[in-house]
Chains A and B, each alone.
Chain A
Amino acid sequence: DGGITQSPKYLFRKEGQNVTLSCEQNLNHDAMYWYRQDPGQGLRLIYYSQIVNDFQKGDIAEGYSVSREKKESFPLTVTSAQKNPTAFYLCASSAQVAAEKLFFGSGTQLSVL
């Protein structure tokens, strides 16, 4: 069954801690994205990747980092530099960046302890 898998579903971060959110897809898609969702603000782009070993900053990249070592994986690290990390994080993919449709994972809710 093809799709995007995000884990964990819930994650808690302590002050000064880095945490990593997992995103895996088996759709053979080239492009992958990370969005942050806050109430009333829609989805804001953190990072995106068009191809393996390449990624670009989105609108709110500060305090986050990513890697794209494999086509199917695009993990997001929320670093201690991100002062307001509490949000719902969504991973998405598309066949190409200019493709028509995004496929979304079920999301990770990150909270600060």
Chain B
Amino acid sequence: AQSVTQLDSHVSVSEGTPVLLRCNYSSSYSPSLFWYVQHPNKGLQLLLKYTSAATLVKGINGFEAEFKKSETSFHLTKPSAHMSDAAEYFCVVSDSGGSYIPTFGRGTSLIVHP
């Protein structure tokens, strides 16, 4: 069965420093992987997606993620954090073994200090 593990429940950074949100996945098939962001009192928005094309995926707002099959990881990064990046981030996996139904991780809360 597909699953995803977000390794940190909270990540705290200073504005202008790099962001790293870690995600490991489990899938017996060729997975599709996604990162979604949820700002306070707002709906979820897709940041980026990997669907077996280029392993380095660029998303919105300067975020990117790299698919590493050997490490079963899909970590989210950003070179320089902005105050507006403070939000909840979800890693999501989907594959044919799970009938393509998206499975969400528990979320990582990103805190950005001035």
Contacts and interface: CB of A to CB of B under 8 A. Distances in A.
Which of B42, B90, B99, B104 is most buried by chain A, counting CB atoms within 10 A of its CB? Answer: B104
Interface residues of A, number: 21
Contact of A102 (B42, B44, B99): B44
A58 B105 contact: no
Interface residues of B, number: 23
A68 B45 CA distance: 25
Interface of B: 6, 9, 32, 34, 36, 42-46, 49, 51, 90, 94, 99-107
Given A43-B104, A98-B94, A106-B42, 10 more contacts: A42-B104, A42-B107, A90-B43, A90-B44, A97-B99, A101-B46, A102-B102, A104-B43, A104-B45, A106-B43
